[in-house]
Amino acid sequence: MFLNTVVHDFVDRGRINLGFRPIVAGFGKFHIALLLWSCMQIATLCVYPSFCLWVFVRKDCKKNESRKVWDISSIFGLLFYQCTFVAFVIKAVLWLDLPPASSVAVLMEMTRFVMKVHAFVRSNIPRALEKTTKTSSEDKPAHAVAVPSFSKFIYFLFAPTLVYRDEYPRTKRIRWSIVFRHVLEVIGVIFYISFIFERFLTPLFDRFGHAEISSGKFVLSLFGSVMPGSLSFLCGFYCLLHAWMNASSELLRFADRLFYRDWWNASSFAEYIRSWNVVVHDWLYTYIYKDAVEHVFKDCRFLATVLVFTVSAIFHEVILAFAFRFFFPVMFVQFEFMGLLLMFVTRNMSKDVGNILLWLMLCIGNGIQLSLYNMEYYARRNCPVSGESLVDYLIPVSWSCNGISHNPNWTISAPWELN
């Protein structure tokens, strides 16, 4: 495909387009994104002394009423920190006008920091509650026992896991050849995804909004995005969950490399969700699903499952909405409604039928999602809105500005008719 494109461009246009433009445009201002990431890292480091302060003050509270007030105040303080952290990062992304790829990177890191903070606090609260009522057998202060060391907190922030543990399995040494290979894979996959966008998607949608298109062309664009959408999906999976995670694991000597299972063999959507991204699934199961079942919904697993899908859908939608500067909840609908529906539809299917249906839904779903987001993105570029009100970001421009003609003028003939 790559060689075919190179030869075609050289013969037909007299130049070679290697698809670098999406990288240059998407990752612009990346140095500013790195500076913003540093600020996010510093803000996250402040969680550790704050947690130590909570443990220390709680130990000195002699009355249960005082401890209860302090605990409730600390919970609200944590919620305020998390909300302020998210709001600050989003505001910074918008104010700095970061391009889409740089925005996605920053917002994904924002989400990772939020999940890491929640995991650290949630995992250490039970130990702190137990230890602040008594001292250890070694007569150490209670807060010294209840709080893990700062080095463990630092390692957890960088480790390729979202579930906190005091200790993780470690390898004996760093294999730099493995690190170098995976870094090259990350770079290569990024260039390949850029090539896919430049070669297959940009020609389909870059004129969207200049003139009204027919329903037939709209349908062709949707299904024309299935192949590049599926390729981008597989490349993104390999880049993030294989190459990037293994490179960071090798650098940190992190031995647990179970970042995904054989999701491609899944026969149900529930099995796919558990296998596709083990890192995020473990966090959702440990800190959302289990807490919801045990403390919120009282053993109602269905409502806990709905909550898990809702939390996941909201974070995905926040990343996309503020990276592309418009609200177009395609992914939210896919997660919240289609995902739950597919869980029940594929539950009792045979393994072969379920796997075929799963792959069909993944390919079509990725194609439709990529099409709709590209249509809206280019429609807003070609039909710029004022942006003076919130409504401008909520109403899809692709539906109103030179949108879709509902007169496809299709003709259907029998396959045996030659003329």
Q: What is the pLDDT along the chain (419 residues), one digit of tens a residue?
A: 667 666 666 666 666 666 678 888 888 889 999 999 999 999 999 999 999 998 888 887 777 778 888 889 999 999 999 999 999 999 999 999 999 999 999 999 999 999 999 999 999 988 888 766 654 444 455 445 668 899 999 999 999 999 999 999 999 999 999 999 999 999 999 998 988 888 888 888 887 777 777 777 778 888 888 888 889 999 999 999 999 999 999 999 999 999 999 999 988 888 888 899 999 999 999 999 998 988 888 878 888 888 988 898 899 999 999 999 888 888 888 877 777 777 777 777 788 888 888 898 888 888 888 888 888 888 888 887 666 667 777 777 777 776 666 665 555 555 555 55
**8 Å CB contact between 132 and 143:** yes
Q: Report pLDDT for 346.
A: 73
**Are both 313 and 272 inside the same structural domain?**
yes
12's tokens: 């037909």
**Are both 290 and 395 inside the same structural domain?**
yes
- Domain assignment of residue 2, yes or no: no
- Domain assignment of residue 352, yes or no: yes
**Are both 153 and 297 inside the same structural domain?**
no
**Are both 227 and 143 inside the same structural domain?**
no
**Are both 269 and 127 inside the same structural domain?**
no
316 as an active site residue: the answer is yes
Q: What is the dihedral of CA 274, 278, 284, 287, to 10 degrees?
A: 130
**Are both 76 and 124 inside the same structural domain?**
yes
Residue 304: how many CB atoms within 10 A of its CB? 20
**Are both 195 and 303 inside the same structural domain?**
yes
Domain end (from 134, 158, 182): 158
Q: Report pLDDT for 271.
A: 86
- Overall domain count for the chain: 2
- Domain assignment of residue 145, yes or no: yes
Q: Report pLDDT for 189.
A: 92
- Domain assignment of residue 408, yes or no: no
Exposed / middle / buried, residue 409 (Cβ in 10 Å: 0-12, 13-18, 19+): exposed
Q: Report pLDDT for 32.
A: 94
**Are both 145 and 204 inside the same structural domain?**
no
Identify the active-site residue in 8, 118, 281, 316: 316
- Domain assignment of residue 54, yes or no: yes
Between CA 30 and CA 101 the distance in angstroms is: 9
- Domain assignment of residue 6, yes or no: no
Domain end (from 130, 158, 186): 158
User: What global pTM score does this model have?
Assistant: 0.88
**Are both 147 and 70 inside the same structural domain?**
yes
**Are both 185 and 94 inside the same structural domain?**
no
Q: Report pLDDT for 136.
A: 42
346's tokens: 């594929």
Domain end (from 105, 134, 158): 158
If you ran DSSP here, which 8-state letter would residue 398 be given? G
Q: Tell me if residue 349 falls in helix, strand or coil.
A: coil
**Are both 94 and 189 inside the same structural domain?**
no
Domain that holds residue 66: 17-158
CA distances for 45 relative to 39, 50, 166, 223, 232, angstroms: 10, 9, 17, 46, 35
Q: Tell me if residue 211 falls in helix, strand or coil.
A: strand
- Domain assignment of residue 272, yes or no: yes
- Domain assignment of residue 417, yes or no: no
For tokens 């993105």, the residue is: 377
